[in-house]
Structure 1
Amino acid sequence: MVGLNGVNGRSVLEDGWSEWSEWSICSRSCDGGVSVSLRKCNHKRGCIEGTAERHKICNMQPCPSDVDFRGTQCSNYNKQPYRGRLYEWLPYLDPLDPCSLTCRAKTFNFVAKHSPKAEDGTRCRDGSLDMCVTGKCLSVGCDLVLGSDNKVDGCGICGGDGTSCSRPTYIWSETNYSPCSVSCGRGYQMSQPICINNETKEVVDEILCDPTLRPRPHINECNAQKCPPL
């Protein structure tokens, strides 16, 4: 059966590509690995559009123990001599080449690049889902799709635009005027700015309101009548 490659409804054979192979075994058993599917170009002049391989994320379930995938790869070199001696290797993330397998020698102040490519599924950076695939860092969105830039919006929706829920707004208001400072002889009373939730009218921390719109305190004269003689 001839499949479709999604380009104007043409079959893979019309474009010169063979059908996709079965997905490979996942590169990791847990915490996110990569599976590969391949196809061949059967056209003498080359194939139009598309690539010879595709990738997908697999086995995203957490590992039963705290396993450092990069660290495991580095430790595989512990029994291989490096410059004539053995070292215990620890993971090292090279910010300029995050998808290389660069390791740090324990108790020694040097690193070594053991391989130009870390294994598929190695995280490109700490605290990120982005993965190394064939030596390149590919983004991973909240939809767990390689190459996706989807993020969770303010409503908690993956790929959303933030309009599916109502978020509170905060505005400046004023307190009631304070009691007059004197009972006679002209005093003053003051009203202070406060930040409130525009829907519930609850007073909230001032940091939630726009500081550039903060009103000035209001001061009114009060009890201007003369005081009775002592």
Structure 2
Amino acid sequence: MIENEQYRFHTFWLIAVNGGWSVWSQWSLCSVSCGGGQHYRDRVCNNPSPANGGQLCSGQNRETQSCNEHACVVNGGFNVWSQWSFCSLTCGGGEHYRDRACNNPSPSNGGQLCSGPYRQIQSCNEHPCVVNGGWNVWSQWSLCSLTCGGGEHYRDRACNNPIPANGGQLCSGPYRQIQSCNEQPCVGGCLYKGHAYQEGHNWQDGCNYICACVDGNIGVYKCYPLCPTWNLPSVCIMEPPAPGRCCPQPKCPDNIRIDYPVGYQDH
């Protein structure tokens, strides 16, 4: 009896304890600051902890929620530069350009535009242009060289529209055109430098020649130097022509005799 009572004194039954959740923790920081992330909170099955074959806590130990779902502010970023454009001129100094786009990324949700130039411009083809010559308009026709019997007149043009430059070519073609004029037959007399003189008529060509129409039927005239050729001693000099005269006059010492040319006239 004593033994049985002693055994019963030391024997007791263990009570099963089911687990219970603790309070939720604080929410964690959001995984992103914008654009939609997640955060979570945890709880522990320790209030009480399951024991003696008690059941575990029922439910999830972590709750997850969306957070910071507002759109992110995106500041613009430049893409790479494009290729340079063709030069605006082939010579003489033009410009070309290259662009870049503000799309890497594009600004959105109130983000800032890209800072800096969207286009770069540079000079190009600065070497001088080769300019080929071009003709200007023809001049008026000149006076005819003769008043009858067939003369000539001409007109000119200049290679200055534009002037050839920087290795450009000269104008192609004639600078002068010549045509016949006053081809009607002469009626007697002689033609000299566009003027008609009757047979037997004398005329003076400035201080150069004195002329005479010898044969008016065929227009033959003869001209002679106006001033004679002198063969003077070395002690003589030629003085300038007198006022209103053409020919210089010889001046010699009084003791020197001058031989005047045959037919001498004081012109």
| Interval containing the TM-score (normalised by the shorter chain) | under 0.3
Q: Which has the higher helix share?
A: 1
Whose Rg is larger?
Answer: 2
Compute the TM-score of the two structures, normalised by the length of structure 1: 0.27
TM-score by length of 2: 0.23
